[in-house]
């Protein structure tokens, strides 16, 4: 289902900019409120790093005894910091099938891998952490922000020891296929055909969600979402690649949330992560479920909200979402946030939830 063309050589251009930051309800400014560039960068080569993980015991600050939020149950979370100046800006992640390791990408052209250690079902720390650069076809690290801005990630085949992933980039909009060997990213092996209307995506609101459908009539097809491409229609734009060709479908734009991530469910459905920021209300997060029977070219979807949280919860600039199954068969959702390399006002969060019910949501709209 996935058609890859020959590797693409991208130009070197540097975009100047600054970081706009502010404090709102104890949280800081997500991606859409900042200027063109981040403060961080990726390392020149792969290296081991130290990670400090501070536990998050309660998801809702004002109700520490509550664990269940709609159909999601909070398992635990971590605030991640590192002495490495390259650590941060995490835009999306993959979880290994057993949930014991992760692989993430950053919007400054970096990747990060680590083992997750648990006490019961709670994540408590990360171990064996490594960080490295996303490479161009020449083997060099990506040169500047226009090339580096990786925002979406999905596993195509295999695992984090030996497998293949797709990475979606914005600014220079593209989807590249990369091999993973021993949890380290290799040079790109090719690029997917982009939809014609992807040219209408703004530089900083490109491909924020990627997933590969796991079941159903379109099993194996790649699904991608733009962060915000509505053109006044009231619907976000997504694409499904069938036989190598991208075909559009739509997801209703509810309350001005942007789409920031996507993850595939075992039954062929999808989870879509959304984020909204307003100066007067702070940051919000939402997860919607799209049922397998709804996802098809030309569809107009509503989906079903599983959870919505605001600044009274332990959230930040939530950008990445991944799914794995526990040993007992539970569906586990992992979220990661992008701190924009702004440690004064933002945090790198890792949050985990159990999904207790992923039944079909609203039917497709005509």
What is the dihedral sign for C-alpha 104, 110, 113, 114? Answer: negative
CB 223 within 8 A of CB 238: yes
CA atoms within 13 A on the CB side of 17: 18
Give the HSE-up count for residue 131: Cα atoms under 13 Å, Cβ half-sphere.
21
Task: Tell me the residue length of the chain.
Answer: 366
Digit-coded pLDDT (tens) for 330-347: 999 999 999 999 999 999
The predicted structure's pLDDT at residue 11: 37
Residues of the chain with pLDDT below 70 are: 1-39, 358-366
For residue 75, give both structure tokens: 């398992």
pLDDT reported for residue 24: 37
State the Rg of the chain over Cα.
19
Domain boundaries, the chain: 4-8+18-355
Residues 211, 191: Cα–Cα separation, whole Å: 16
pLDDT computed for residue 359 by the predictor: 58
8 Å CB contact between 67 and 152 = no
Residue 11: both structure tokens together: 């130009």
**Measured between alpha carbons, how far is 316 from 58 in angstroms, rounded to an integer?**
14
Domain 4-8+18-355 sits in CATH at 2.120.10
Query: Is-contact 358 289, C-beta < 8 A?
Result: yes
Cross-strand partners of 38:
none
Q: How far apart are CA 74 and CA 192, in angstroms?
A: 36
Cα–Cα distance, 173 to 156 (Å, whole number):
19
Query: What does the pLDDT read at residue 26?
Result: 38
* pLDDT for the residue numbered 2: 52
Calpha distance 32→346 (Å, rounded): 14
Does this model's pTM top 0.85? My answer is: yes
């Amino acid at each position: 289902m996935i058609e890859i063309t020959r590797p693409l050589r991208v130009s070197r251009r540097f975009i100047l900019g600054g970081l706009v930051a502010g404090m709102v309800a104890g949280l800081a400014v997500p991606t859409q409120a900042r200027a063109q560039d981040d403060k961080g960068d990726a390392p020149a080569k792969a290296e081991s790093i130290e990670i400090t993980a501070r536990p998050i015991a309660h998801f809702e600050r004002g109700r520490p005894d509550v664990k269940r939020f709609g159909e999601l149950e909070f398992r635990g979370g971590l605030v991640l910091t590192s002495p490495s100046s390259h650590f941060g800006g995490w835009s999306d992640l993959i979880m290994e099938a057993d949930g014991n390791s992760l692989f993430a990408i950053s919007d400054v052209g970096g990747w990060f891998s680590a083992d997750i250690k648990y006490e019961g079902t709670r994540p408590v720390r990360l171990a064996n952490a490594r960080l490295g650069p996303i490479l161009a076809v020449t083997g060099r690290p990506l040169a500047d922000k226009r090339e580096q801005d990786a925002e979406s990630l999905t596993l195509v085949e295999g695992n984090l020891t030996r497998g293949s992933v797709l990475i979606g980039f914005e600014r220079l909009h593209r989807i590249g296929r990369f091999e993973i060997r021993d949890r380290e990213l290799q040079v790109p092996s090719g690029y997917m055909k982009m939809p014609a209307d992807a040219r209408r995506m703004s530089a900083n609101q490109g491909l924020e969600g990627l997933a590969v459908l796991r079941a159903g009539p379109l099993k194996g097809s790649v699904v991608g979402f733009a962060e915000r491409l509505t053109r006044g229609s009231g619907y976000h734009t997504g694409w499904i690649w069938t036989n190598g060709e991208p075909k559009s479908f739509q997801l209703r734009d509810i309350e001005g949330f942007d789409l920031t991530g996507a993850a595939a469910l075992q039954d062929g459905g999808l989870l879509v992560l959304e984020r909204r920021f307003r100066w007067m209300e702070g940051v919000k997060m939402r997860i919607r479920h799209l049922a397998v029977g709804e996802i098809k070219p030309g569809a107009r979807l509503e989906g079903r909200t599983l959870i919505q949280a605001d600044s009274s919860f332990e959230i930040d600039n939530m950008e990445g979402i991944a799914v794995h199954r526990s040993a007992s068969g539970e569906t586990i959702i992992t979220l990661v946030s992008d701190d924009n390399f702004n440690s004064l006002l933002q945090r790198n969060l890792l949050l985990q939830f159990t999904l207790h019910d992923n039944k079909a949501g609203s039917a497709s709209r005509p």
